[in-house]
Chain A
């Protein structure tokens, strides 16, 4: 494990949710998952889809299914930045895929715990590398607006 990857994993573990529900969740079909909006900077050529699989409440851990689908093959890295609004634990890595393929869904099972009065925004940073070039996109997943 590279130092960078180790630090990324440690950062994710540092935000382990405080009250996991422990409820087993199904892996949703891709077409049943919502598209997370990206910003307008040139970004990583990926789609991020998500499904919130529980009731969102402050201080309560909610399962979130995430799928990242590259539009081009390259090195894929996923990061959940420490924003203070939402604590995130990742039930499954890899957070780095050295040779991600186009049109393949890389799935992640998360638990997100809103920390503030409102439901908060789960932020996902996806980075893709193509040789010397590296692009990133920030995806904002509104935890409060998409309870299913």
Chain B
């Protein structure tokens, strides 16, 4: 992988363009040390000539005893030498095969015909994708070239480094531009997808780079060739891995494999919203990105960070992982995510905002790939595969607090009906409609309750089927509203129902104190994003009003924090290191509150055990 700013050496480029050095294919003799296979180098002095002109071919070999010319020349040749091509009037490919006791080796050089006027230059760009083995790990033996779809292609003057033409590959990886003849060129494949004005909608800009290396966009430069007419210049971007699972060169295809997964995900959105204007998205991937640390960040420039650490966790060939993170971007930029993020494991009891956000990410990946099985390669030599199905998990603690329930519900709303408790088959359009409208502006926090409630309203004909499917996840479907007011389910072994329910506790301005219990009982990993670490309240402001809000822990010296939220926007907050007492001018509307106890050491920590917090809202 070359970086954009790296100067191209023209002489090296010509050599790279005109020579292929191939190891011999023959095997060794029996017994003793086998003879090494011949290697052959064949170069043309220039990559293209004007019609009727000639250039010089030069070749050499090792471990060879004889050579034979074929293609645009023929006959026996010495194992090293040079000679003129003779006058050329059309593009010609010269091939030399040299043979020795260790087998044979072949090299070729192509000389194009330059023309003074514009010529069409075209080709297909492919990248190496390493698929999964049926069992565990990545299948480096069966790495395959796939079209690089929608990427930026630059045709560059090899001598001056000036970009002569820019275009975009189509859905087959093909591209074509017109450039001035008589020029030595190379094709630069950029790890970005751009469609912008003046082109009509849809628009997007996605790029893969390495910010730690100040690299905005990876690029791969192909070999130099002459701009002769009539030749096709395909580029095959290699994976950089060999069949023994060892990186043997730059992992050049990784950024393009990542882009292609995102291309697939964008097609799902475009299938229901063809005029979508995707906000610019950066993807941070490098071989130095540590394993396990994959995430989406929506603050500032939206960014997806993917792992590249060999022998620990590489993400580039994990479409479901990549699209899961893109799902977070979709939720953030087209809908709304109130998720607080953080670590999460299978069957964990999560804050319902986290459960919905994480569940949506994997359900979205399954929809984009049309495959409910999520896969993620990891471990020594990428020899293992994590996998689970968003269609049927083994979750034991289902409910509105479990991401498995969220992902399975969303997938079942989307996929064909016909499974147990699944008689819903809505496709993506109504899910997208709710995401981009009601869920974006919901007065509640973004959870399964806010989403399912509005989906039922948009699909009244299938309400009973939705209710049946929701009920199978141990979630109260009948009478569901965006706040989960009628919810009765709590996790197994919950000490007191009031540790979990109601999902939102009503509070009124001037209505007296309300006491809630937060607990770390569902948060053994002290991640701070588990069920009941935060508790929720809800209240209405009938007209713009000044209020005084207090939040106090029953335990001494604890740090209570409180956020007052209206339609996803923080309207007021109290985040001092102790109890909270503040005033705010609140416009009319429906509000929700997140209140939690940061424990003794400030936020970033979770209170140990249970903590009772008393909240008041008074006119001021």
Residue in A closest to B313 when the chains form the complex, CB atoms: A138
Contacts of B209-255 to chain A: CB distance below 8 A: none
| Interface size of B as a range | 35 or more
Residue in A closest to B318 when the chains form the complex, CB atoms: A41
The 8 A CB mask of B366-387 against A (1 = contact, 0 = none) is 0000000000101110001111
Residue in A closest to B342 when the chains form the complex, CB atoms: A40
Q: Verify if B117 is at the interface (C-beta below 8 Å from A).
A: no
Residue in B closest to A72 when the chains form the complex, CB atoms: B347
Given the interface contacts A45-B346, A83-B309, A128-B346, does A40 sit within 8 Å of B341 by beta carbon?
A: yes
Complex: A71 Cα to B571 Cα, angstroms = 37
Q: Are A133 and B387 in contact (CB under 8 A)?
A: yes
Q: Verify if B394 is at the interface (C-beta below 8 Å from A).
A: yes
Given the interface contacts A43-B344, A137-B345, does A11 sit within 8 Å of B386 by beta carbon?
A: no
Q: Verify if A1 is at the interface (C-beta below 8 Å from B).
A: no
Q: Are B293 and A39 in contact (CB under 8 A)?
A: yes
Q: Verify if B358 is at the interface (C-beta below 8 Å from A).
A: yes
Q: Could you tell me the distance in whole angstroms from the C-beta of A38 to the nearest C-beta in chain B? A: 4
Checking A46, A47, A132 against B387 with a beta-carbon cut-off of 8 angstroms, the contacting residue is: A132
Residues of B within 8 A of A121 (CB): 290
Residues of A within 8 A of B387 (CB): 132-134
Q: Verify if B348 is at the interface (C-beta below 8 Å from A).
A: yes
Q: Are A42 and B312 in contact (CB under 8 A)?
A: no
Residue in A closest to B361 when the chains form the complex, CB atoms: A42
Residue in A closest to B347 when the chains form the complex, CB atoms: A72
Q: Verify if B329 is at the interface (C-beta below 8 Å from A).
A: no
Residues of B within 8 A of A72 (CB): 346-347, 396
Contacts of A79-131 to chain B: CB distance below 8 A: 79, 81-83, 121, 123, 125, 127-128, 130-131
The 8 A CB mask of B347-360 against A (1 = contact, 0 = none) is 11000000000100
Complex: A98 Cα to B312 Cα, angstroms = 22
Q: Could you tell me the distance in whole angstroms from the C-beta of A77 to the nearest C-beta in chain B? A: 9
Given the interface contacts A83-B312, A138-B291, does A43 sit within 8 Å of B384 by beta carbon?
A: no
Q: Are B291 and A130 in contact (CB under 8 A)?
A: no
Instruction: Count chain B CB atoms within 10 A of each CB in A81, A83, A128, A132 and give the residue with the most.
Output: A81
Contacts of A25-47 to chain B: CB distance below 8 A: 35, 37-47
Residues of B within 8 A of A11 (CB): 380
Complex: A102 Cα to B403 Cα, angstroms = 19
The secondary-structure label for the interface of chain A is strand
Q: Verify if B295 is at the interface (C-beta below 8 Å from A).
A: yes
Q: Verify if B34 is at the interface (C-beta below 8 Å from A).
A: no
Instruction: Count chain A CB atoms within 10 A of each CB in B313, B362, B403 and give the residue with the most.
Output: B313
Q: Verify if B389 is at the interface (C-beta below 8 Å from A).
A: yes
Residues of A within 8 A of B291 (CB): 39, 81, 123, 125, 138
Residues of B within 8 A of A4 (CB): 136
Residues of A within 8 A of B379 (CB): 79, 81, 125, 127, 136
Q: Are A42 and B345 in contact (CB under 8 A)?
A: yes
Q: Are A132 and B345 in contact (CB under 8 A)?
A: no
Checking A47, A82, A137 against B311 with a beta-carbon cut-off of 8 angstroms, the contacting residue is: A82
Residue in A closest to B394 when the chains form the complex, CB atoms: A130
The 8 A CB mask of B300-322 against A (1 = contact, 0 = none) is 00000000010111000000010
Given the interface contacts A38-B292, A41-B376, A43-B344, does A133 sit within 8 Å of B362 by beta carbon?
A: no
Checking A35, A71, A139 against B347 with a beta-carbon cut-off of 8 angstroms, the contacting residue is: A71
Q: Are B389 and A133 in contact (CB under 8 A)?
A: yes
Residue in A closest to B403 when the chains form the complex, CB atoms: A42
Residues of B within 8 A of A82 (CB): 311, 380
Given the interface contacts A35-B526, A82-B380, does A42 sit within 8 Å of B358 by beta carbon?
A: yes
Residues of A within 8 A of B386 (CB): 127, 134-136
Residues of B within 8 A of A127 (CB): 379, 384, 386
Q: Are A44 and B346 in contact (CB under 8 A)?
A: yes
Q: Could you tell me the distance in whole angstroms from the C-beta of A95 to the nearest C-beta in chain B? A: 12
The 8 A CB mask of B68-100 against A (1 = contact, 0 = none) is 000000000000000000000000000000000
Residue in A closest to B345 when the chains form the complex, CB atoms: A45
Residues of A within 8 A of B378 (CB): 125, 136, 138
Residue in A closest to B374 when the chains form the complex, CB atoms: A42
Q: Verify if B432 is at the interface (C-beta below 8 Å from A).
A: no
Q: Are A44 and B294 in contact (CB under 8 A)?
A: no
Residues of A within 8 A of B312 (CB): 81, 83, 123, 125, 138
Complex: A135 Cα to B292 Cα, angstroms = 12
Residues of B within 8 A of A79 (CB): 379-380
Q: Are A133 and B341 in contact (CB under 8 A)?
A: no
Q: Could you tell me the distance in whole angstroms from the C-beta of B363 to the nearest C-beta in chain A? A: 12
Residue in A closest to B328 when the chains form the complex, CB atoms: A40
Residues of A within 8 A of B344 (CB): 40, 42-43
Q: Are B346 and A40 in contact (CB under 8 A)?
A: no
Q: Verify if B506 is at the interface (C-beta below 8 Å from A).
A: no
Q: Are A134 and B343 in contact (CB under 8 A)?
A: no
Given the interface contacts A40-B295, A42-B362, does A136 sit within 8 Å of B384 by beta carbon?
A: yes
Residue in B closest to A48 when the chains form the complex, CB atoms: B525
Complex: A76 Cα to B136 Cα, angstroms = 16
Complex: A36 Cα to B376 Cα, angstroms = 22
Checking A46, A47, A132, A138 against B292 with a beta-carbon cut-off of 8 angstroms, the contacting residue is: A138
Residues of A within 8 A of B136 (CB): 4
Residues of B within 8 A of A69 (CB): 524
Which positions in B face A, CB cutoff 8 Å?
136, 290-295, 309, 311-313, 321, 341-348, 358, 362, 376, 378-380, 384-389, 393-394, 396, 403, 524-526
8 pairs, A vs B, C-beta closer than 8 Å:
A40-B343, A43-B346, A47-B524, A79-B379, A133-B387, A137-B343, A137-B345, A138-B312
8 smallest CB-CB distances across A and B, nearest first, come from A138-B292, A39-B292, A45-B345, A133-B388, A38-B343, A130-B394, A39-B293, A138-B291
| Additional A-B contacts beyond A40-B344, A133-B387 (11; CB < 8 A) | A42-B344, A43-B345, A45-B346, A81-B291, A83-B309, A125-B378, A132-B387, A132-B394, A136-B384, A137-B292, A137-B343
